[in-house]
Each structure stands twice: as structure tokens, then as C-alpha cells.
Amino acid sequence: MLPTGNTEDKADFVASNGKVCFMFDLARLRLLLALHEQGTLHAAASTLHVSPSAASQQLATLTREVGAPLTEADGRKLRLTDAGRVLVHHAYVLLAEVERAEGEVQAAVKGELGQLTAGSFPSTISSLLIPAARALRIRHPRLRVDIREVKVPDCLDALSSGDLDVVVAVEADGVPPVEDARYTRVTLGTDDLDLALPSGHQFAQQAVVDLSLLEHAEWVSTIEGDACDRLLHSACASAGFRPVVRHRASDWMAILALVEAEMGVAFVPRGARVALPEGVVAVAAAGHRTRRHVYAAVRRGAEARPAVAGYLGALKEVATLTHSRSPAVADVG
């Protein structure tokens, strides 16, 4: 987790003559970065779990320390000045160095790996986060891994604020990796999705189904706009139609229950390790290899912390093993 700010938690900017020009409290620098990322002081305060009044006081103190305005009013928002943007750039670099320094200090304490908090969505918690935590606990019994279920839109904010140390998420096929200076990303592999059909469906006995034949089917999807939902719409668009989504759920067991009840068809990832109900079969979509890209993200510089580095290594090992064991469509059901 990010260290909390206090009177000792400061970074000095030293001139060539050795005199201190500025002394910045790291908590105030984190507030400036949160303001830059969130757009409003209220949202920045909420992200950092402080009151808006406290955030306002911290920003005013930082402005006095710099000796120049860092923000200016822009309607209901605060816009960074040129000085504010310069400080934001250096603050990212400085906080990354703080993370690296913390990692190197921890590495010097043999066997003391501390704790970390990892977050993801339900299917990946069961298939990746828990097995990785179990493997790491065997190697390093004194390392504690806390696991949290998170929503995809909020997970990177939680990473930036320090509420999470590791996030595991997915991207839709064809979406290029996002280059973000705040994070270090580690690829964990890909996860193919198969069509889930009711066992009584007219195409249930086929090993492969032309996706265009499901143009008039009703669909069951995940939360609107998430990676799997985007994959569904992208695959159907490639087949020349727009899917009619009648039902949505965030839980794969609920999605498969809806399919078993003949309320629709769905795309289901193999890596979710969901046992298919008796009334559901999985088949491949002909000509449309649909897959999601799985990755882990940490705050840039935090990968030097032995606890984080160890957990990332365990995640990669589990992901490789999971991918090698993922059943082919012919073996499912």
C-alpha cells in the first residue's frame, strides 16, 4: 500500500548550491495527482479518503510551498496551470522513485515480505488470484495477500490511491494495450471464449457453429460495456449483425443458468473454470476466434517491491498453467 502522508513523509528538492529550494509533503503531491486524474477537488478527496475541506487546505499549503498558482477555476472544475502541470510530471517520477526505494528497503530485510492487496472480478479471483496467493503463501508464509472484488471502471483508481497493490483485469480482443505512465502492466495471457447453448438448441450437437446463424437469437451478456460484452458485440458485428441482448449478469453461473433455461445464448470464457450445467453445451464460433487479454497492473515502480514481484511471478505461473489446462471446445460439456 502507499505510505500515508505525515510531517516526516517529505521530499526535498535541492539546488546545486546544496540549499533546499522546496520541501514537498508526499501526501500533498498525491492530492495534486488525484486532482489531475479526477478533475474536481471533491472527487480527488473521495479517492484519497479525505474530506473536501482537508483536501482544499492541503492544496493551498502546496501552492504556498511552490510559491506559484497550481490551479485556476474552469467552471466547476479546477484546471492545472503550467506550473501545476510541471509539478504533476515530476510528482509521478518522484512517487515512482519512492515506490522503488520502499521495494529496495524491503528486499534488504531477508524473509520479511510484508503484505499486499490484490483486486479483480469474481471469475479471475477464483482462477488466478486465489491460486497465486496460495502458491506464494507456501514459499513465503509471512507474506499476507488480501483479495478484493472490484469493478473494472474503479480498479485503476483504487490502484492509484493505494487501496490496491495489484489489479488483474481483461481487455477485449483487438484493443491495444493502454500506455499509461502511472502503471506497469504484465501480460498474463489470453482466454478464449466459446458459445454456450442450451442442450436442446438446434446447433447444440455441432462442434462448430457459424455465428451468422445466430443473428436472430436472444443473447445473455455481462455488464454493459465491459470486456466480455464488447467482445460479444465485436464478434457479432464481424458476422454481420447486432446481437439482441435480453439478459445481463456479472456472475457466470447466473449467465449459464439463463442459457440452461433457454432464455438466450452466450459467450463464456474457458478460463473462468465454470462447470457447465447439464443443460448447457459449449461450441466454437466458426471463423470468429473470440478471446480476451488478461493482464496485471501495479503502480509504476512498485514492481521492485519483493511482495509485489513475488505475487506477479505467481500470477504468471498460474496463468500459464491455467492456459495449458483450458479445455478445447470438443472437451467441454
For residue 144, pLDDT beyond 50: yes
Mean pLDDT estimate for the chain: 84
For residue 115, pLDDT beyond 90: no
Mean pLDDT of 75-82: 89
Mean pLDDT of 185-199: 92
Which range has the worst mean pLDDT, 6-15, 66-75, 174-183, 302-311?
6-15
Q: What are phi and psi of 239, to 5 degrees?
A: -90, 0
Q: Does 190-290 match 115-189+293-327 at the fold level?
A: yes
pLDDT grade for 112, boundaries at 50, 70 and 90: low
Cα–Cα nearest to 59, from 40, 86, 82, 75? 40
Threshold 0.95, pTM exceeds: no
C-alpha span between 302 and 213 (Å, rounded): 48
Helix (H) or strand (E) holding 192: strand 183-198
pLDDT of residue 324: 62
User: Domain segments of the chain: what residues?
Assistant: 10-108, 115-189+293-327, 190-290
Give the per-residue SS3 of 135-191.
Answer: HHHHHCCCCEEEEEECCHHHHHHHHHHCCCCEEEEEEECCCCCCCCCCEEEEEEEEE
pLDDT grade for 214, boundaries at 50, 70 and 90: very high
For residue 163, pLDDT beyond 60: yes
For residue 5, pLDDT beyond 70: no
For residue 210, pLDDT beyond 90: yes
CATH class of 10-108: mainly alpha
Cα–Cα nearest to 58, from 36, 88, 25, 82? 25
For residue 13, pLDDT beyond 60: no
What are the beta bridge partners of residue 119? Answer: 148, 167
CATH topology of domain 190-290: D-Maltodextrin-Binding Protein; domain 2 (3.40.190)
pLDDT grade for 94, boundaries at 50, 70 and 90: very high
Residues 6+ apart with CB under 8 A from 298: 159, 165, 166, 167, 183, 184, 186, 308, 312
CATH of 115-189+293-327, one of 3.40.190.10, 3.40.50.10490, 3.40.109.10, 2.40.370.10: 3.40.190.10
Residue 181 near residue 300, CB atoms below 8 Å: yes
Question: What DSSP line would sit under 43-60, residue for residue?
Answer: HHHHHTT--HHHHHHHHH
Type of residue numbered 323: H
